[in-house]
Amino acid sequence: MILESAYQNLVREIAIVRCGIAYHFGMLIPLFSVHRCVIYTKDINRIDLKKYLGGENKMGRPRRFDKESILDKATEVFWKNGYFATSTEDLEAATGLKRGSLYNAFKDKRSLFLAVIDHYADVEMGKAVSAIMTRPTAAKAVQALYQRIVSQAGPMGDRRGCLLCDAAVDLGPRDPEIGARIRSALEPMKLALEKKITAEWPEMPEEEISRRAGHAAATYLGLRVMARAGHPLTALRGIARQAAIDIAWSEGAG
């Protein structure tokens, strides 16, 4: 009777989560969702257990580190120093993790670097693809793509270049798996360029579309390297302008 009254009058947020079981008014309720669990009562009131399952760590369990944050920090170290000049101590200092925890999660330095390549590609190539696909023409797409490089090298003062380019030079010839991973990481940008060109010139031969997209992608990588090497902004802007003209030019449509 007391339990029935409690259900009818109000919902008291009493829940203790332990080993995947919620104890609610003396009943054991398995929790199959680790993100959110809602218990419905007879009067359709709800107890939200999200706060018990979230990041408050009420049971004193050790926090799991944020993998994305660790990869962000490791990326900065590899990007700045290069693969061979980056030590385990550098990675420990940047990530805040000891060697054991770091390599427990990523096995070894090489495996961590492979994860960094994938992470960098997801972020940077995602931005590149977005810059391409959100512009109305192929010429405007490459302008937006290259303008990011010029802006980073100029007002933002970011002349780190491209991590994928650096890795390709340092490791591509030595490590076939890393070389293949880099080629795979660059492919979405080229495919986005091909789609943009095809949409604008549907009658253009596939070989020509591939050639123009490949040239635009190569120019992107070249600009990244030139920015890192300290070339003046006027040179970078001139190359970017010419590349936009080149991708749109053809005897039939130019």
Give the model's pLDDT for residue 33.
37
Closest CA to 106 of 82, 77, 70: 70
Rounded Cα gap, residues 97 and 199, in angstroms: 48
pLDDT in tens, 173-229: 899 999 999 999 999 999 999 999 999 999 999 999 999 999 999 999 999 999 988
CB contact set of 52 (below 8 Å; sequence gap of 6+) = 15, 16, 17, 22, 58
Lowest mean pLDDT among 22-26, 62-66, 213-217: 22-26
Model pTM?
0.68
pLDDT at 76 exceeding the cut of 50: yes
CA diameter of the chain: 88
Question: What is the percentage of the chain residues whose pLDDT exceeds 70?
Answer: 71
**Token pair of 203, please?**
């009658």
Give the model's pLDDT for residue 250.
53
Lowest mean pLDDT among 15-29, 74-88, 164-178: 15-29
Rounded Cα gap, residues 55 and 51, in angstroms: 8
Q: At what angle do helices 67-81 and 88-95 cross, to 10 degrees?
A: 130
The answer to whether the CB of 137 falls within 8 A of the CB of 249 is no
Alpha helices in 54-175, H assignment, sequence order: 67-81, 88-95, 99-106, 109-120, 126-133, 138-153, 163-171
Please tell me the total number of residues recorded for the chain in this structure: 254
pLDDT in tens, 124-181: 999 999 999 999 999 999 999 999 889 888 766 778 888 998 899 889 889 999 999 9
Give the model's pLDDT for residue 185.
92
> Domains in the chain, ordered, with CATH?
2-53 (no CATH), 67-248 (1.10.357.10)
